[in-house]
Structure 1
Amino acid sequence: MSEPPRFQQNPHVLFTELDDGTGVLLHLDTKFYFALNKTGVFVWKSLREASENSAPALAKKLTEVFRVDIDTASRDIEAVLDEMLADELLVPVSP
């Protein structure tokens, strides 16, 4: 069985966590800002850990931190990763 795709933060993106637990990303190349809710901040910070940078690992961790079932967590994680990839906030990790 093949491993799920893994991702890492784009090094051209700056992150600031705000006092209320939300966050802001700035893509230095495109000059676009992105607002993150608390779940988005959780995903962004979790991507720093090598063991947490695949969709299944993030979904599992999400269920441990937030009150959400694994199916919902998996769908939500896939959606946020797809959006972050489309906006070039993340880059795939080569196997």
Structure 2
Amino acid sequence: MRSRYTAFAIEDARYLHVSWHPSTRPRSIEFEPGLHWRRLAIVDRVAGGPFDDEGVVEFEAFWHQDGTRGSLRERSRFVREDRRWLYLDGEVQ
């Protein structure tokens, strides 16, 4: 989750593409102009350990845009394939 947050913060579409599960991956990744991600807080984690093939991460990511501040809270599902964690989907809280 932290690496995907960083990829959003620095607008690294290539990394987001390869870390997204092919079954749910969008064709292209677009970034919102002027949106700056400021901080990530991990709220909860279920499974996702070294012996798991699935995991859930709940996070809150804080942003700033045009003088406005806010946050996005999501519960994200990940799967491990070929020893790599891939983002499957998420539910905005």
The TM-score normalised by the length of structure 1 is 0.29
Larger proportion of strand: 2
Larger proportion of helix: 1
By relative contact order (CA 8 Å, sep 6+), the higher-ranking structure is 1
The TM-score normalised by the length of structure 2 is 0.30
